[in-house]
Structure 1
Amino acid sequence: MQAPITSQPMIVGNVMGHREWSTGLFDCFSDCGTCLMGYFCLPCTMCTIASKQGDCACMPFCVPGAMVALRARIRTLGGIRGSICNDCLVMSFCGGCAVCQLHRELNNMGL
């Protein structure tokens, strides 16, 4: 006779996150290299973020809402507090600064 199958929760961390972003949204000058790359070649920065996440480098230009999805993914993997609504608003109104923040966060996470 087989033992009954029991389901285990797959949550690996707190859904709400346990920390804040390592740098603020407008801390662009804390990393001048990222700031310059984001200012002069924002598409290159976006492609770098996607490829560091293991996605195709062209993903930000082929998938609608890709940067919101990448921000949510980085936030979730890093255990950063926030919400999808906040991610959407930040990417909509402060996109360039948010892309630089994502790049700095990945660097600070060691990716």
Structure 2
Amino acid sequence: MSSPVTSQPQPFAAQGQRLWSSGTFGCFSDMGSCLIGTLCPVILAMRIAGDMGESSCVPCCVPASTIVMRTKTRMMFNIQGSIMDDCLITHFCCPCVICQMARELEYVKKIQQ
């Protein structure tokens, strides 16, 4: 006789992973990044790429660079999500995604100090 199921299994991706430190639309929590990300998102994306140890040319030279950078950010900091999530949110809200990545990098810098 088998024992009853007392809890549902969690999807593999959700086990041991955390959420983003701020939401995609939390741009106003960091007005500096919000302004740069709105007025000239490429400049902010270049800074983010450099902060992640990549060439600052990535946003200008790599196709779908924002999706790639978002996926790398999730992998580096063990954040929940999927490549499909990254593709969709980046397609519809690219400047907000860039600002969110900038906030995440700042958040990680602060907690590692």
Asked if residue 22 in structure 1 is aligned to residue 21 in structure 2, the reply is: yes
User: What's the CA shift string for 1:19-48, capped at 9, x where partnerless?
Assistant: 100000001111111111111221100101
Structure 2: tracts of 5 or more residues without a match: 1-11
Secondary structure of 2:109's aligned partner: coil
Quote how far apart the aligned CAs of 1:15 are: 4.9
Whole-angstrom distance in 1 between the partners of 2:36 and 2:59 = 16
TM-score, normalised relative to structure 1: 0.82
Asked if residue 50 in structure 1 is aligned to residue 35 in structure 2, the reply is: no
Q: Number of residue pairs matched?
A: 98
Structure 1: tracts of 5 or more residues without a match: 1-13
Q: Is the 8 A contact 2:37 2:44 kept in 1?
A: yes
Asked if residue 103 in structure 1 is aligned to residue 97 in structure 2, the reply is: no
Asked if residue 67 in structure 1 is aligned to residue 70 in structure 2, the reply is: no
Question: As a proportion of its length, which structure holds more helix?
Answer: 2
Q: Structure 1: which 4+ aligned runs deviate by more than 2 Å?
A: 14-17
TM-score, normalised relative to structure 2: 0.81
Aligned to 1:92: 91
* RMSD between superposed Cα atoms in Å: 1.6
Secondary structure of 1:94's aligned partner: helix
Q: Is the 8 A contact 2:13 2:81 kept in 1?
A: no
Whole-angstrom distance in 1 between the partners of 2:56 and 2:104 = 18
Q: Percent identity of the aligned residues? A: 41
